[in-house]
Chain A
Amino acid sequence: MSVTRESPAAERAMARQARGDAMFSYAALMPAFIILVGFTVVPFLLSAWRSVQDRGGEFSTENYQRMLDDGVFHQVISNQLIYTLVTVPVTIAVSLGLAVLGAKVLRGKAIARVSFLAPAMLPTVAAGAIWLYFYQPNFGMLNAVANALGLPGMNWLGSSETALSAMMVVAVWQQAGLFVIFYLAALLSQDPQLREAARIERTRPWTFFRRVTWPLLMPTTLFVGVIATSNSFKQVDLLFVMTQGGPSDSTNLMLYYVWETAFGQFRQEYSAAITVLLVIILMVIAVAQIRLLDKRIHYR
């Protein structure tokens, strides 16, 4: 019996099989990759090329030097950092909290879930419009409540101290709903025996959450973190509707500034340089997160 050694014919057949698999794979990947490469990789290379040219098309590093002196750009970077570092953890905490609460609802659970999810189903421009309405200083809902409580009203979006925070509230409100569903899915697929064991052992709910639930939810948390982070860097819709980056650039974020420099001020080369920086930042975050995912999930 030739179990250990394949006959030459069998080896040839296997090689043919492997070649066929590879050819099939390339053919199956081709359409998706034409689009993915054509509209992200190629334009990135073109941006990089454009960013090292001056207006006359000569090689120049002036676009990168300009970043160092551009006060608005510094403001944008600082806004973006605040926006990302606040909205990502807060979104994770809020959506996890809502999911833990939502998992307890048995009667009318569909209504509760729809309520959480509804804002996530809205176009961001519509979410922005809704809150524009609430933040409105004269008859907006928020100031009406503040007045009723005897507090002074605020021009929430018109003041550079509150505008960015006001916008972050909307962002969290809007995107949490989808993540609630992710967390709910993970929570409800948790082995009920774990909870039963904890009940018999009289483990405190908080201890149970920290020691059992939270580690089990880690893959979901990382996934939510990746999506929320990349959402934070591509946030422009809220700016278009609510603030146009103002007042005095206090809510201006990176992608909006890319748009502003390219399509508002027609400084394509400078805009390309900012795009390159934005992509580099995103790549660093992506690699860090993929490493983490690899470690924690073992998704093969």
Chain B
Amino acid sequence: MRGSMTESAQATWGDRAMVYLAWGAALVWVLPLLLVLVMAFRESATDMSILSGWTLDNLTRVWNSADFELFFRNSFILVVALTLTQIVLGVLAAYAFARFRFPGRDVLFFVVLAQLVIYPEIMISENFFMVSRMGLDDSLLGVGLPYAASAFAIFLLRQAFLTVPKELVEAAVMEGMGRLRVLWRVFLPLCRSTVAAFAMVSVSFHWNNFLWPMISTRTNEARPVTVGVVRFMAPESGIDFAALTAGTFIIVTPLLIFFLVMQRQFVQSFMRSGIK
């Protein structure tokens, strides 16, 4: 009895130490972000008093010096449209890979695997020329098109679809369901959390994407927030830190709110989707 008591006490002691360490690490991880968000409301970076020196000037100055409403609208459209098309195209392709045998399947799947590491932005020049030739440069369609399909989506969804029990599929076929109905009624409901997990990765990827949107746009018309805000972060003439923190605040807040609201959903989807 006594032996087991001390043993469990020891275990909890070690666990408690790890919990403290975990909170320490969590603080280190989140602190830089919180500090910058606070500094966006400070008049001076060196003034450390808590009672005075608060201001909205940094934010209003940055907000008014560029067309942020347009940038936000562009980002929003890009994120929603790309997440949807990536899921639709990804589901269709993953379904074909997971359920059917057809000539060339392995070669085609290898192409998908290779694209897990080779993204459109690596071929920036040729993609820029291609989009220009199509007359889509400096347009939202041009910014989005290279990302309309995602190898990552196909890979993840295929993995999930492979776990669908064959008996269920056979039963559905016996009932006379066609191929698309089986996808809709059997595969998708069972793999909902993978779709949700991918959707959230996709949202944050496209909200944050920078290099390609910067290259493929010349005017503000099609620029997302990342590209619109970056000139406040790395201007040619020295760094304006008040503008930098305010710019960071503007770009970070919407996604952070989205994420805080979806946090539970997000973590649970990952847990359930078996990305492991």
Residues of A within 8 A of B (CB): 18, 21-22, 24-26, 28-29, 31-44, 46-47, 50, 97-98, 100-102, 104-106, 110-126, 128-134, 136, 139, 141, 173, 176-178, 181-182, 184-186, 188-189, 199, 205, 219-220, 223, 226, 229-230, 233-234, 236-237, 240-242, 244, 255, 258-259, 262-263, 268, 271-272, 275, 278-279, 282-283, 285-286, 289-290, 299-300
Residues of A within 8 A of B95 (CB): 28
Q: Mark B258-276, 1 if CB is under 8 A from A, else 0.
A: 0110011011001101111
Q: Mark out the residues of chain B between 217 and 235 whose CB falls within 8 Å of any chain A CB in the assembled complex.
A: 225-226, 229-230, 233-234
The answer to whether A47 touches B125 (Cβ under 8 A) is yes
The answer to whether A36 touches B151 (Cβ under 8 A) is yes
Contact of A199 among B11, B21, B90, B113 (CB under 8 A): B11
Which 3 residue pairs of A and B lie closest in terms of their CB atoms, listed nearest first? Answer: A43-B126, A43-B123, A101-B22
Q: Mark B221-252, 1 if CB is under 8 A from A, else 0.
A: 00001100110011000010100110110011
The answer to whether B114 touches A185 (Cβ under 8 A) is no
The answer to whether A173 touches B45 (Cβ under 8 A) is no
- Rounded to whole Å, the gap between the CB of B151 and the closest CB of chain A is 6
The answer to whether A282 touches B122 (Cβ under 8 A) is yes
Report the nearest A residue to B39, measured CB to CB: A133
28 contacts between A and B (CB under 8 A): A21-B100, A21-B179, A24-B179, A25-B97, A26-B96, A26-B102, A31-B92, A32-B92, A32-B154, A39-B146, A43-B126, A43-B127, A101-B21, A104-B15, A117-B266, A122-B208, A123-B207, A134-B32, A173-B32, A185-B275, A229-B117, A237-B211, A240-B211, A255-B211, A262-B124, A275-B122, A283-B114, A286-B116
Report the nearest A residue to B11, measured CB to CB: A199
> What is the bound-complex CA distance between A25 and B100, given in angstroms?
7
Of the candidate stretches B23-31, B53-61, B62-70, B184-192, the one touching chain A is B23-31
Supply 5 further A-B pairs (C-beta < 8 A) apart from A46-B130, A116-B25.
A43-B123, A112-B22, A114-B259, A116-B26, A283-B118
Residues of A within 8 A of B92 (CB): 28-29, 31-32
The answer to whether B113 touches A290 (Cβ under 8 A) is yes
> What is the bound-complex CA distance between A124 and B204, given in angstroms?
11
Residues of B within 8 A of A259 (CB): 124, 211, 215
Residues of B within 8 A of A129 (CB): 36, 233-234, 244-245, 247-248
> What is the bound-complex CA distance between A31 and B145, given in angstroms?
12
The answer to whether B233 touches A132 (Cβ under 8 A) is yes
The answer to whether A182 touches B108 (Cβ under 8 A) is no
The answer to whether A118 touches B276 (Cβ under 8 A) is no
Contact of B2 with A by CB under 8 A:
no
- Rounded to whole Å, the gap between the CB of B276 and the closest CB of chain A is 4
Contact of B112 with A by CB under 8 A:
yes
The answer to whether B22 touches A118 (Cβ under 8 A) is no
The answer to whether B210 touches A124 (Cβ under 8 A) is yes
Contact of B93 with A by CB under 8 A:
yes
Residues of B within 8 A of A186 (CB): 276
Residues of A within 8 A of B27 (CB): 115
The answer to whether A279 touches B125 (Cβ under 8 A) is no
Report the nearest A residue to B259, measured CB to CB: A121
> What is the bound-complex CA distance between A256 and B113, given in angstroms?
24
Contact of B111 with A by CB under 8 A:
yes
Residues of B within 8 A of A100 (CB): 18
With A125-B226, A185-B276, A240-B210 as given contacts, are A36 and B112 in contact (CB-CB < 8 Å)?
yes
- Rounded to whole Å, the gap between the CB of B230 and the closest CB of chain A is 5
The answer to whether B148 touches A240 (Cβ under 8 A) is no
Residues of B within 8 A of A (CB): 11, 14-15, 18-19, 21-23, 25-27, 29-30, 32-33, 35-36, 39, 45-46, 89-90, 92-93, 95-97, 100-103, 105, 108, 110-127, 129-130, 145-146, 148-149, 151, 154, 159, 162, 179, 201, 204, 207-208, 210-211, 214-215, 225-226, 229-230, 233-234, 239, 241, 244-245, 247-248, 251-252, 255-256, 259-260, 263-264, 266-267, 270-271, 273-276
Task: Tally A-B pairs: CB < 8 A.
Answer: 296
The answer to whether A44 touches B36 (Cβ under 8 A) is no
> What is the bound-complex CA distance between A132 and B240, given in angstroms?
11
Most chain B CB inside 10 Å of its own CB: which residue of A41, A125, A134, A285: A125
- Rounded to whole Å, the gap between the CB of B116 and the closest CB of chain A is 6
The answer to whether B122 touches A237 (Cβ under 8 A) is no
Residues of B within 8 A of A184 (CB): 267, 270-271
- Rounded to whole Å, the gap between the CB of A24 and the closest CB of chain B is 5
With A28-B92, A105-B19, A282-B118 as given contacts, are A21 and B126 in contact (CB-CB < 8 Å)?
no
The answer to whether A39 touches B145 (Cβ under 8 A) is yes
The answer to whether A125 touches B230 (Cβ under 8 A) is yes
The answer to whether A25 touches B96 (Cβ under 8 A) is yes
Residues of A within 8 A of B214 (CB): 240
- Rounded to whole Å, the gap between the CB of A247 and the closest CB of chain B is 15
> What is the bound-complex CA distance between A114 and B126, given in angstroms?
39
The answer to whether B121 touches A255 (Cβ under 8 A) is yes
Most chain B CB inside 10 Å of its own CB: which residue of A104, A134, A234, A271: A104
> What is the bound-complex CA distance between A236 and B118, given in angstroms?
15
Residues of B within 8 A of A271 (CB): 125
The answer to whether B263 touches A115 (Cβ under 8 A) is no
With A36-B149, A133-B245 as given contacts, are A230 and B29 in contact (CB-CB < 8 Å)?
no
